[in-house]
């Protein structure tokens, strides 16, 4: 039985705005508690939409952007600056517009960087970057992630972990080089499910009718190998942020009686 929390918003615009407000608050709270916040970004329409809304929000001035560590959950292995890279899109949407400390921004390597076209070497290096920033005394080989955001694909992929691939089954690595990806580009870099599961909070954010079946199967208890999003769980909290269309097929999430409604499945 899942103890995921589900929040359904009326449409994609409200979803991204509400998730942005939530993200700002999460960062401010983490900075108040520890002086610094660590966030893990996702690509995809909803994830980038959320970053755009953070940029547009006057409340983003409450964040000390110089004390935000930025990581990525996955990356499309393409040349630096390519418009399809999750990093490029995140920079355009937010990071180029707020005073982040470049030393705290940790993108995954591009395909024309120091590892050339060797996606496995690039993945191994990212694991080293994460390991070097792991909390002192922690047995987790990654930093403390206050929030790790994810998208959900129509077939249930999350980060760059696709159904029935060796990568979604991987429990040995923190980061994997993904080959033969069914959604272009063919090569990607991704955190594994155990690495995702080290985050304090995991937020799965998606909207649109095309995601309804995957969401329903994930919330219905599908195996992660079939629906990778079903295997993404935070240590303290797993939160699904959906619009009505994406929630439409989920038995545990009946049509909201009010415009916004949060539901925790039984
Ligand atoms: O390729 C990717 O797609 C997923 C989902 O994207 P969406 O546009 O369907 O919401 C995203 O989570 C992932 O980071 C990205 O690399």
- Helix 86-93 with 45-56: angle, nearest 10 deg: 20
Residue 117 Cα to ligand 1 middle (Å): 22
pLDDT of 159 above 70: yes
> Which residues, in sequence order, are bridge partners of residue 261?
8
pLDDT score, position 251:
75
Closest ligand 1 atom to Cα of 206: 10
ipTM for this prediction = 0.97
Residues 35, 29 contacting (CB under 8 angstroms)? no
- Ligand 1, pocket-test mutation among 12, 43, 93, most atoms within 8 A of CB: 43
Q: Which of 46-50, 83-87, 228-232, 253-257 is the least confident region?
A: 253-257
When pLDDT is averaged across residues 113-125 and rounded to a whole number, the result is 98
Give the binding-site residues of ligand 1, using a 6 Å CB cut-off.
42-47, 74, 76, 86, 150-151, 153, 159-160, 183, 206
User: Which atom of ligand 1 is the closest one to the Cα of 154?
Assistant: 9
Average pLDDT in the chain: 94
Q: At residue 145, does pLDDT exceed 70?
A: yes
- Asked if residue 1 has pLDDT above 50, the reply is no
Identify the band that residue 257 occupies on the pLDDT scale cut at 50, 70 and 90: very low
75 CA closest ligand 1 atom index: 16
Q: Atom 6 of ligand 1 has which residue's CA nearest to it?
A: 44
Q: Residue of the nearest CA to atom 2 in ligand 1?
A: 44
The structure's pTM equals 0.95
Burial of residue 21, with CB atoms counted within 10 A of its CB: 0-12 exposed, 13-18 middle, 19 or more buried: middle
Write down all domains in the chain, each with its CATH number in brackets: 5-263 (3.40.50.1360)
pLDDT single digits (tens) 67-92: 999 999 999 999 999 999 999 999 99
Residue 2 — pLDDT band, cuts 50, 70, 90? low
**186/158 Cα distance (integer angstroms):** 15
pLDDT in tens, 39-63: 999 999 999 999 999 999 999 999 9
């Amino acid at each position: 039985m899942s103890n995921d929390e589900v929040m359904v918003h009326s449409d994609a615009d409200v979803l991204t705005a509400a998730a942005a407000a939530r993200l700002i608050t999460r960062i401010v709270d983490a900075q108040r508690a520890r002086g610094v916040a660590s966030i893990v970004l996702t690509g995809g329409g909803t994830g980038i939409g959320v970053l755009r809304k953070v940029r547009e929000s006057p409340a983003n001035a409450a964040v000390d952007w110089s004390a935000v560590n930025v990581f990525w959950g996955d990356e499309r292995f393409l040349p630096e600056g390519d418009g399809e890279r999750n990093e490029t899109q995140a920079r355009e949407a937010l990071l180029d517009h707020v005073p982040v400390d470049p030393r705290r921004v940790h993108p995954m390597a591009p395909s024309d960087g120091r590892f050339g076209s060797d996606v496995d070497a690039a993945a191994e290096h990212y694991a080293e970057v994460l390991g070097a920033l792991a909390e002192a005394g922690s047995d987790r080989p990654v930093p403390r992630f206050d929030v790790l955001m994810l998208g959900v694909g129509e077939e249930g992929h999350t980060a760059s972990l696709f159904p029935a691939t060796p990568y979604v089954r991987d429990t040995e690595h923190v980061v994997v080089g993904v080959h033969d990806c069914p959604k272009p580009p063919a090569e990607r870099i991704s955190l594994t499910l155990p690495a995702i599961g080290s985050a304090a909070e995991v937020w799965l954010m998606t909207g649109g009718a095309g995601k309804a079946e995957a969401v329903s199967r994930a919330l219905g208890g599908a195996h992660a190998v079939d629906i990778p999003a079903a295997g993404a769980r935070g240590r303290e909290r797993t939160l699904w942020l959906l619009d009505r269309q994406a929630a439409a097929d989920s038995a545990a999430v009946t049509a909201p009686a009010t415009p916004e409604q949060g539901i925790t499945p039984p």
